[in-house]
Amino acid sequence: MTREKTDISQLITKAKKGNLTAQLTLAGIYEEGLGETQNFGLAARWFLKAAKQGFAKAQAIVGEKYMLGHGVEQDYEKAIFWLNKAAVQNETDAMANLAWCFQNGLGVEQDYEKALQYFQKAARFGHVSARYNLGYMYAQGYGVKQDIEEALNWYKRAAKEGNTKAQLNIGALYAEGISVERNDIEAVEWYRKASKGGYDKALYNLGLMYLEGRGVPKDINEAEKLMREAAVQGYSRAQYYLGTFYLKGTGLKKDISEARFWIQKSAREAYVKAQYQLAKMIMEEASCEGDYTDAYTWFFHAAEQGHRKAQYYLGTLYATGKGVTKDYVKAYSWFSVAMSAESGDGETITGEPRAEKAMKKLKKNFSTDELSEAIEAGEELSGNLRDVQQKKESDSAKMAAD
């Protein structure tokens, strides 16, 4: 112990005198907790001293620490400062992180073209994560014309280096036949590669292939096994499917309690199908107990995300005063939103047919002025829901890349 303390003291003495190797060694010791108590603050302090001496790798690390608030207070301006210093020395981690900042407007004005340029440079220097992100930029058309073929090219280059997100996305392109010929066998192969390290989304997607018998023989037991593995990791869609297996007795003994356990976990992670299903389960229980409050809450969460059936049921709760104060105007508003159809991103959301009948019935309770108020309230609600959805999509886009 005395010898170890002497060694660390000598390192500190050398580091204080400006010895770069000693500074980096100390930073690594405190970062990893090697023989000393792990201390991210001290690690950041010694990395910063090395960065001030112009060492590019230390500058990149300091920039990332300020970007993430790891061992230091999060400060995007300082992050950009140090990342720029490292990037001009062709430090690939710095370039990839600068690209991320430009992609998401962190400390700089959002600029997809600059993000693309930094990802391209880092990718050409062999940075695996940058190769994946470059593929993502081409796939989404961020800063460049959408080009799935080029996206696939970069995904495959990252996938060969073991990037699981790239492997997953290649599988999805083949499974969905997006600008490539649909090939379920190829999709399964890539999902299997991505799932080897326990990647939850890959496990879930592979589970779906077994559930549907696409690219592999249909195997409910294997689907359940994969879904469970992803669900235990906290992946909300897998939790929902596992819950439905218990709910319907698919490959498992029917168990409503276990079904609710997994569906509720998924609902709490904001998965809209789970929120709707949980609300339905609670509503069925409430028909005996008479308490619809929780059903209202979960229908509302799903309705806010655009689930048409949830919007319809929310309208019925307002119309009947179950779980919420009776309000015909709000009921009419939710019915009007539920019956509308929308198209976007190649997907059509169809209206709920029962909503139109419910609206006609409600009209009998309104005067002319009240009906105008209800129509106006429906239009306002529809606009508010669009704003919520656009924000959600924007946030999802920020999180989608690595």
Tokens of 301: 């969460």
Of 269, 294, 312, the one marking the end of a domain is 269
Same domain? For 265 and 300 the reply is no
Domain presence at residue 1: no
Same domain? For 234 and 329 the reply is no
Alpha carbon distances (Å) from 57 to 84, 93, 263, 363: 12, 8, 45, 68
Same domain? For 281 and 374 the reply is yes
Same domain? For 289 and 265 the reply is no
How many angstroms separate the CA atoms of 309 and 354, rounded?
Answer: 9
How many angstroms separate the CA atoms of 318 and 295, rounded?
Answer: 12
Residues 6 or more apart in contact with residue 273 via CB below 8 angstroms: 240, 266, 302, 307
Tokens of 391: 């924000």
Alpha carbon distances (Å) from 178 to 84, 313, 316: 36, 35, 39
Domain presence at residue 62: no
Of 242, 269, 296, the one marking the end of a domain is 269
Same domain? For 259 and 279 the reply is no
Domain presence at residue 56: no
Instruction: Assign residue 218 the CATH number of its domain.
Output: 1.25.40.10
117-141 average pLDDT score:
97
Span of 105-109, 202-206, 289-293 with lowest mean pLDDT: 289-293
Instruction: Burial-class residue 245 by CB neighbours within 10 Å (0-12, 13-18, 19+).
Output: buried
Mean pLDDT for all residues in the chain: 91
Same domain? For 393 and 282 the reply is yes
Same domain? For 284 and 244 the reply is no
pLDDT of residue 390: 65
Domain presence at residue 42: no
Main-chain phi, psi angles of 78, to 5 degrees? -65, -35
Same domain? For 281 and 402 the reply is yes
Top-confidence residue, 387 or 72: 72
Of 218, 236, 269, the one marking the end of a domain is 269
pLDDT digit string (tens) for 343-395? 444 445 678 899 999 988 998 888 888 888 888 988 888 888 887 766 665 55
Instruction: Burial-class residue 40 by CB neighbours within 10 Å (0-12, 13-18, 19+).
Output: middle
Overall number of domains in the chain: 2
Spatial contact of 194 and 171, defined as CB atoms under 8 Å apart:
yes
Top-confidence residue, 364 or 164: 164
Tokens 């059903």 map to which residue?
295
Give the pTM: 0.85
Same domain? For 342 and 226 the reply is no
Domain presence at residue 373: yes
39-60 average pLDDT score:
97
How many angstroms separate the CA atoms of 71 and 40, rounded?
Answer: 5
pLDDT of residue 382: 84
pLDDT of residue 349: 65
Alpha carbon distances (Å) from 136 to 68, 144, 166, 341: 22, 11, 9, 29
Domain presence at residue 242: yes
* DSSP 8-state secondary structure symbol assigned to residue 140: H
Residues 6 or more apart in contact with residue 289 via CB below 8 angstroms: none
pLDDT digit string (tens) for 167-193? 999 999 999 998 899 999 999 999 999
Range of the domain at 221: 162-269
Helices 128-140 and 148-159 pack at an angle, to 10 degrees, of 160
Same domain? For 351 and 277 the reply is yes
Helices 293-304 and 328-338 pack at an angle, to 10 degrees, of 40
Question: Could you please report the per-residue DSSP string of 238-299?
Answer: HHHHHHHHHHHTSSS---HHHHHHHHHHHHHTT-HHHHHHHHHHHHHHHHHH---HHHHHHH
Same domain? For 254 and 353 the reply is no
Domain presence at residue 58: no
Domain presence at residue 97: no
Which H or E run includes 217?
A: none
How many angstroms separate the CA atoms of 259 and 277, rounded?
Answer: 10
196-223 average pLDDT score:
96
Same domain? For 304 and 365 the reply is yes
Tokens 């886009």 map to which residue?
397
How many angstroms separate the CA atoms of 276 and 352, rounded?
Answer: 14
**3-class secondary structure, 344:** strand
